[in-house]
Structure 1
Amino acid sequence: MKNVVITGTSRGIGFELAKLFANNNHNVLALSRNTKPLEIVNHKNIKVLSVDISDNSDLEKVSSFIKKYWKQVDILINNAGKLINKPFTELSSDDFLEVYKVNVFGVAEITKNLIPFLQKGSHVVTISSMGGIQGSMKFPGLAAYSSAKGAVITLSELLAEEYKEQQIAFNVLALGAVQTEMLAEAFPDYKAPLSAKEMAKYIFDFSLTGNQFYNGKVLQVSNSTP
């Protein structure tokens, strides 16, 4: 039984991941601003906290919970994401900041908060995007989103180096298109080849075993050529 923290669990991949870990008898701390979907699920292995990862004071709730109930974290999945689809000349500094606060700064802050609870053999998995891979196909309108997803890849590589002596593994999964609510909102007419449930199964397996084979790596999880 692992103690697993997952961000962005109100819908899509994060929602499916929380249920998958819980159904396989792992303890899940599910973090999201909207807690209702998982509260309705009402699984005995899922504890839901209303947390905005872009708000540093909100993250104190996470540390307090772990200190009181768990003492340690085995897996952290940085899944929460923010996407704004606008032509570059229409993107404001506030738009960039809004995206980076969730996709980069939020990832950094929650990881920093959980470092004291990550033991030897722990695995931090950050969900990035094929849009953040250098040399991959890029899409107009995603200057803020894709650049943020590129930044978080480099961040994870640096953390893997910084914490290798403690044997905490940091890896990134750069996902291709997955049929989620976020994708549908940004690209209403696009149909992705994979469902959130299918991708969650892959991430579930990788989170449990990937740190035996990888550290400081980014894996491209896409069935199309970049």
Structure 2
Amino acid sequence: MKKKNIIITGTSRGIGYELVSLFTDAGHNVLALSRDAAPVSGLDISNCACFSCDITDKKDIARVRDFIKEKWNHVDVLINNSGYLVNKSFSKLKWEDFEDSYAVNVFGAAAMTQAVLPFMTKKGHVVNISSMGGVQGSAKFAGLAAYSSSKGAIITLTEVLAEEYKEKGPSFNCLALGAVQTEMLQEAFPGYEAPITAKQMGQYIMNFSLTGHELYNGKILQVSSTTP
């Protein structure tokens, strides 16, 4: 497969961290973005660039745009993987909890997409990572009002953008993930052990991001063997 330029957000841990190794091992160029760049920078991978990036900060988004102009000129795949979790009963949720959840899970993903789109062609692919908690009709869990509602919002955003860009591209798809053994899962469901590892899910996401746009656009795929 031809070497591609891949941008991944939320790479300091979990699925995002695994995606960096999977893509670079396959020979692709990766820009790994996270507020904490240390975990990835410590890997010392020649075909991986990384720097601290807060996707809710306009200046950091501008840095991404500048990097693409100077180093790549084009982007093949954008994976909006960053996630922010608040696990708190609804009666105790503050305005700021909702703001923080939507800032990362929706607004930040939208801002990153806006920055990258000018560098993508019709064959490009934007993959938004959502959750089964954001899927209408799926099982819902107490304490996740801010998180799950924001994940529902990114699902709808994916569908709208796919329609808006269906003629000129790129393709937009969303993966709604079920239980995966990550740090975030433990924060949401302490003590629960998922049957799927972060690396296993990362492998699926990598394969889908590279080829899924050939068959799908504007689709929400439920990638879940189980939920807690």
CA deviation string 1:2-34 (max 9, x = no partner): 000000000100000011000000000000011
Aligned to 2:123: 121
| Mapped partners of 1:51, 1:108: distance in 2 | 15
Q: Compare the two structures and name the one with the higher strand fraction.
A: 1
CA deviation string 1:117-174 (max 9, x = no partner): 0112000000000000000000000000000000000001010011111131000000
- Secondary structure in structure 1 of the residue aligned to 2:82: coil
Match of 2:218 among 216, 219, 223: 216
| Mapped partners of 2:169, 2:152: distance in 1 | 24
Residue identity (%): 60
Aligned to 1:29: 31
| Mapped partners of 1:98, 1:89: distance in 2 | 17
CA deviation string 1:29-60 (max 9, x = no partner): 00001111111111111100210001122111
| Mapped partners of 1:150, 1:185: distance in 2 | 20
CA RMSD, Structure 1 to Structure 2 (Å): 1.1
Runs of 4+ residues over 6 Å off in structure 1: none
Aligned to 1:192: 194
Aligned to 2:175: 173
Output aligned runs, 1:80-159, within 5 Å: 80-159=82-161
- TM-score, length-normalised on structure 2? 0.97
**Residue-pair matches, total:** 226
* Preserved contact between residue 87 and residue 187 of structure 2 (Cα < 8 Å): no
CA deviation string 1:40-99 (max 9, x = no partner): 111111100210001122111100000001000000000000000000010011000001
Q: Which runs of 5+ in 1 are unaligned?
A: none
Q: Which runs of 5+ in 2 are unaligned?
A: none
| Mapped partners of 1:116, 1:49: distance in 2 | 21
- Secondary structure in structure 1 of the residue aligned to 2:226: coil
- TM-score, length-normalised on structure 1? 0.98
